Amino acid sequence: MRVEIREVGLRDGLQNEAPVSLEAKALLLDAVVATGVRRVEATAFVSPRAVPSMADAEQVAALLHRWPGVRFSALVASLGGARRAVAAGITDLEYVVSAGDGHSRANVRIGTEEATEQVAEVAAVVHDAGGSVEVIVATAWDCPFDGPTPPERVLRIVERACELGADELAIADTIGTATPVRVQRLIGAVRDRVGPVTLGAHFHNTRGAGLACAVAAVGEGVLRLDASAGGLGGCPFAPGASGNIATEELVYLLQDMGIETGVDLQRSIDAARLAQDVVGHLVPSNLLRAGDRKR
Amino acid sequence: MRVEIREVGLRDGLQNEAPVSLEAKALLLDAVVATGVRRVEATAFVSPRAVPSMADAEQVAALLHRWPGVRFSALVASLGGARRAVAAGITDLEYVVSAGDGHSRANVRIGTEEATEQVAEVAAVVHDAGGSVEVIVATAWDCPFDGPTPPERVLRIVERACELGADELAIADTIGTATPVRVQRLIGAVRDRVGPVTLGAHFHNTRGAGLACAVAAVGEGVLRLDASAGGLGGCPFAPGASGNIATEELVYLLQDMGIETGVDLQRSIDAARLAQDVVGHLVPSNLLRAGDRKR
- pLDDT score for A234: 77
Q: How many A×B Cβ pairs under 8 Å?
A: 154
Residue A280 has pLDDT above 80, yes or no: yes
Q: Is residue A219 part of a domain?
A: yes
Are B246 and B288 spatial neighbours (Cβ–Cβ below 8 Å)?
Answer: yes
The pLDDT of A266-279, averaged and rounded, is: 98
The pLDDT of A209-218, averaged and rounded, is: 98
Residue B241 has pLDDT above 60, yes or no: no
Q: Is residue B228 part of a domain?
A: yes
Residue B152 has pLDDT above 70, yes or no: yes
- pLDDT score for A246: 98
The pLDDT of B212-240, averaged and rounded, is: 89
Domain, as residue range, for B98: 4-290
Residue A203 has pLDDT above 80, yes or no: yes
The pLDDT of A213-242, averaged and rounded, is: 88
For residues B277 and B288, what is the distance between their CA atoms, to the nearest angstrom?
A: 12
Query: What DSSP letter does each residue of A135-189 carry, written as one string?
Result: EEEESSSEETTTEEPPHHHHHHHHHHHHHTT-SEEEEEETTS---HHHHHHHHHH
**What are the residues whose beta carbons fall under 8 Å from the beta carbon of A97, sequence distance 6 or more?**
A104, A112, A115, A116, A119, A135, A136, A137, A138, A157, A161
- pLDDT score for A239: 63
* Catalytic (active-site) positions of A: 235
Read off the pLDDT band of B240 (50, 70, 90). Answer: low
- Among the partner residues A207, A249, A284, nearest to B236 by beta-carbon distance: A284
**Exposure of A175 in the CB half-sphere (CA atoms within 13 A):** 22
Q: Is residue A18 part of a domain?
A: yes
The pLDDT of A28-57, averaged and rounded, is: 97
Orientation angle between helical segments B210-219 and B180-194, nearest 10 degrees: 40
Read off the pLDDT band of B160 (50, 70, 90). Answer: very high
Residue A21 has pLDDT above 80, yes or no: yes
Stretch (H or E) spanning B217? helix B210-219
Q: How far is CA A282 from CA A84, A131, B114, B160, in A?
A: 33, 36, 43, 45
The pLDDT of B150-172, averaged and rounded, is: 98
- pLDDT score for A233: 87
| Phi, psi dihedral angles at B244 (to 5 degrees) | -65, 165
Q: B residues 235-264 near A, CB within 8 Å?
A: 236-242, 245-246, 249, 252-253, 256-258
**Comparing C-alpha atoms, which of A140, A174, A171, A201 is closest to residue A5?**
A201
B176 contacts in chain A (CB < 8 Å): 286, 290
Q: Is residue B295 part of a domain?
A: no
Q: A residues 61-80 near B, CB within 8 Å?
A: none
The pLDDT of A262-266, averaged and rounded, is: 98
- pLDDT score for B178: 97
10 Å Cβ neighbour count for B3? 21
What burial class does residue A193 get, using C-beta atoms within 10 Å of its C-beta: 0-12 exposed, 13-18 middle, 19+ buried? Answer: middle
Instruction: Kindly state the percentage of chain B with pLDDT values over 70.
Output: 98
Residue B238 has pLDDT above 70, yes or no: no
Q: Is residue B63 part of a domain?
A: yes
- pLDDT score for B239: 63
Cβ within 8 Å, pair B257-A214: no
Stretch (H or E) spanning B269? helix B265-279
Residue B22 has pLDDT above 60, yes or no: yes
- pLDDT score for B234: 76
Cβ within 8 Å, pair B215-A176: no
Residue B257 has pLDDT above 60, yes or no: yes
Q: Is residue B190 part of a domain?
A: yes
For residues B236 and B148, what is the distance between their CA atoms, to the nearest angstrom?
A: 26
**Exposure of B199 in the CB half-sphere (CA atoms within 13 A):** 24
A229 contacts in chain B (CB < 8 Å): none
- pLDDT score for A254: 98
Cβ within 8 Å, pair B287-A206: yes
How many domains are there within chain A?
1
- For B23-58, the pLDDT digits (tens) are 999 999 999 999 999 999 999 999 999 999 999 999
- Among the partner residues B208, B215, B286, nearest to A241 by beta-carbon distance: B286
- For B74-90, the pLDDT digits (tens) are 999 999 999 999 999 99
10 Å Cβ neighbour count for B50? 12
Q: Which amino acid is at B137?
A: V
Average pLDDT, chain A: 96
Residue A241 has pLDDT above 60, yes or no: no
Q: To the nearest whole angstrom, how far is the Cα of A260 from the nearest Cα of chain B?
A: 14
For residues B241 and B230, what is the distance between their CA atoms, to the nearest angstrom?
A: 13
Residue A230 has pLDDT above 60, yes or no: yes
- pLDDT score for B128: 98
Residue A46 has pLDDT above 90, yes or no: yes
Average pLDDT, chain B: 96
Residue A87 has pLDDT above 90, yes or no: yes
- pLDDT score for B291: 94
CATH of the domain at B104: 3.20.20.70
- pLDDT score for B146: 95
Q: To the nearest whole angstrom, how far is the Cα of A147 from the nearest Cα of chain B?
A: 5
SS3 string, B148-209, reads ECCHHHHHHHHHHHHHCCCCEEEEEECCCCCCHHHHHHHHHHHHHHHCCCEEEEEEECCCCC
Closest chain A residue to B239 measured between Cα atoms? A289
Q: B residues 130-169 near A, CB within 8 Å?
A: 142-145, 147-148
B252 contacts in chain A (CB < 8 Å): 179, 207-209
Tell me whether A294 touches chain B (CB under 8 Å).
yes
Tell me whether A180 touches chain B (CB under 8 Å).
yes
